[in-house]
Amino acid sequence: MKRKEKGVHPDLIALVTGVRPPADEMPTVAMLPGKAACLVARRIKKIEPIYKPNKQRLRCLHCGHAAVYDIGMTVFDGAGWAQVVESGNSLSNPESDFDTRRNLIDNAQFTGYIRCVKCNGAGAWEFTSSLFTLGLLGRVMRAKEDPDAGFMFGKIQLHDGTCTQWMSEGEERFLERLRTETMNSYLWNKLGNLYEQGGQPELAAAVFEHAVGVDVMQVESHYSLANLLLEIGESELAAKHFRQALVYARLYTNVEALKLRQFLADGLCKLLDIHHETKQKVPFLPTEEELAAVMQQDETAFGSQVLHAYEFDLRPGDMESFLPVAEMYMGKRTEEIPEHERKLHKPSSAQMLKKGVETMVTKNKKDYSEKNWGSERQPIIVKVKSEERAAQVARACDHFNWHYIMGMEYTEDLTDLKKAIREKYAPANVYEPCPCGSGEKYKFCCAKTMKNFDLNDYLKTFENASSS
């Protein structure tokens, strides 16, 4: 059975497409651009509602048509209601029953985003049954003794501090600003959040997708869109947006640092699950091509940070274990996290070697000699830019029982490894027999070859040895 189409604000369609839908045609999700909205709409039943259903019969005050709608959670302004009670005798005067009901409703907000099924109007509604008012009054009276998942005391505020009774009124405020600020990705993201909270994930997906189209660095929209796509089973597409959130995190300043870290850690946790579920087909961390995009925006990006899948004790399903990796992608924004809250610590190389941790440290050249490469005191420190290269280097170092510290960066640095290999094959006296077994003196045999040897070809020999 075809799912009944839900109404859409015509101005939303006009803003994202540049074309206003015909006045005599009901605007629908199918009119929105992109593929995210259609994907979510087709699998809407897979999306877990944020709030439990709360269906009530309402009459549209635009056209008079009455129907049943899901109004979501009821949020009641207890302080505002208390002022009403204290200022009059509405509860004890039977003649003021209408005012009592009106004041109750006036102090209530509803999270559900709804539009009239007949005229597509929104924001002007009337509850057709007085039973709703009685039920609301009962919830208010017993809220503390009998908590209800569909009811809470408080106020819903938009990002600018304003309060609206219906989600559609909040939508109107956002669209009003977006008419003059069409490229404001922050506002688009907030509008997407409103639709998601209002139980309209297909509209949320369309707006989040539009937000990252307006600004690829809109990290919150990448994260929110990825979660929606993951819920409907679009794992590969979801992973792409989770990785984009990681790539641009260091440049994103519209959310405070602790919350940003939480977004990233949750995304990393889900990325690892996707990586395993797809048998490593979907990358766990951003690819070189994805990192190259942010390098164009910020030349210092990833210049001194290290990212490697097996640096940390990452535990599937445990978001806390991903916090240090999240901080690495935050760059200098990590400094905004209180020091006692930070999870990314930088112990000495000796401590890391003792614990068997592979990570990257910054070398101070004066503290290192130019001999005994690969020893515990003089570990080989390398930077690689792919998992394949990391595996090659690891096999070479393991073959010689070398101590090494490895990290992943956009720019590769294998200088220490080359020095270690040259040292391994060069005897203390160049006139000694060559270690290759040719019988010639080293100076006249492999010395020249090792001076200009091709490290790439050399590392491939370890790969072949491993496969055989």
Closest CA to 231 of 12, 4, 47, 24: 47
- pLDDT tens-digit map of 38-56: 999 999 999 998 888 899 9
Whole-number pLDDT of residue 455: 79
d(CA 112, CA 68): 12
pLDDT of residue 195: 96
Co-location of 32 and 128 in the same domain? yes
Residues 232, 252, single domain; the answer is yes
Work out the pLDDT band at 356, boundaries 50, 70, 90: very low
Distance CA(338)–CA(342), nearest Å, equals 7
Q: Are residues 145 and 242 in the same domain?
A: no
Our count of domains for the chain comes to: 3
Residue 13, strand partner residues? none
pTM metric for this prediction: 0.71
The model's pLDDT over 66-106, given as tens digits with 9 standing for 90+, comes to: 999 999 999 988 777 777 666 665 544 544 554 556 678 88
Q: Which region among 390-394, 401-405, 454-458 has the lowest average model confidence (pLDDT)?
A: 454-458
Q: Are 10 and 151 within one domain?
A: yes
Q: What is the pLDDT of residues 211-250, one digit of tens each?
A: 999 999 999 999 999 999 999 999 999 999 999 999 999 9
Contact status, residue 451 vs residue 442, Cβ threshold 8 Å: no
pLDDT at 373: 79
Tell whether 231 and 301 lie within a shared domain: yes
Select, from the ranges 30-44, 88-102, 335-349, the one with the highest average predicted confidence (pLDDT): 30-44
Q: Which residues pair with 382 in a beta bridge?
A: 406
Using pLDDT thresholds of 50, 70 and 90, give the confidence band for residue 3: very low
* Average pLDDT of the residues in 136-140: 79
At residue 144, the pLDDT reads 65
Please tell me the number of Cα atoms within 13 Å of 462 on its side-chain side. 18
For residues 1 and 35, which has the higher predicted lDDT (pLDDT)? 35
End residue of a domain, out of 214, 245, 269: 214
What is the per-residue burial (b if ≥16 Cβ within 10 Å, else e) of 365-387? eeeeeeeebbeeebbbbbbbbeb
> Does residue 180 share a domain with residue 130?
yes
Could you give the count of Cα atoms lying within 13 Å of 15 in the half-sphere of its Cβ? 27
Q: Are 123 and 18 in a shared domain?
A: yes
Q: How confident is the model at residue 26 (pLDDT cuts 50, 70, 90)?
A: confident
State whether 115 and 264 are in the same domain. no
381, 336: one domain: no
Which of 313, 345, 377 lies at the terminal end of a domain, its last residue? Answer: 345
Residue 48 or residue 434, greater confidence: 48
One-letter amino acid for residue 115 of the chain? R
The top-scoring range by mean pLDDT among 24-33, 129-138, 458-467 is: 24-33
Pull the structure tokens for residue 9: 């604000």
**Over 60: is that where the pLDDT of 388 sits?**
yes
Whether residues 209 and 269 share a domain: the answer is no
Q: How far apart are CA 101 and CA 81, in angstroms?
A: 11
Q: What is the pLDDT of residue 312?
A: 65
Written in H, E and C, the secondary structure of the chain is CCCCCCCCCHHHHHHHHCCCCCCCCCCCHHHCCCCHHHHHHHCHHHCCCCCCCCEEEEEECCCCCEEEEECCCEEECHHHHHHHHHCCCCCCCHHHHHHHHHHHHHCEEECCCCCCCCCCCCCCEEECCHHHHHHHHHHHHHCCCCCCCCEEECCCCCCCCCCCCEHHHHHHHHHHHHCCCCCCHHHHHHHHHHHHHCCCHHHHHHHHHHHHHHCCCCHHHHHHHHHHHHHCCCHHHHHHHHHHHHHHHHHCCCCCHHHHHHHHHHHHHHHHHHHHHCCCCCCCCCCHHHHHHHHHHCCCCCCCCCCCCCCCCCCCCCHHHHHHHHHHHHHHHHHHCCHHHCCCCCCCHHHHHHHCCCCCCCCCHHHCCCCCCCCCCCCEEEEECCHHHHHHHHHHHHHCCCCEEEEECCCCECHHHHHHHHHHHCCCCCCCECCCCCCCEHHHCCHHHHHCCCHHHHHHHHHHHHHC
Residues 19 and 161 in one domain: yes
- Residue 141's pLDDT band, with cuts at 50, 70 and 90, is confident
Kindly state whether residues 137 and 223 are assigned to the same domain.
no
Mean pLDDT of 196-216: 96
Residue 10 confidence (pLDDT) above 80: yes
Domain span including residue 461? 349-467
User: What percent of the chain shows pLDDT beyond 90?
Assistant: 42
147-197 tens-digit pLDDT: 666 888 888 888 788 889 999 999 999 999 999 999 999 999 999 999 999
pLDDT of residue 398: 85
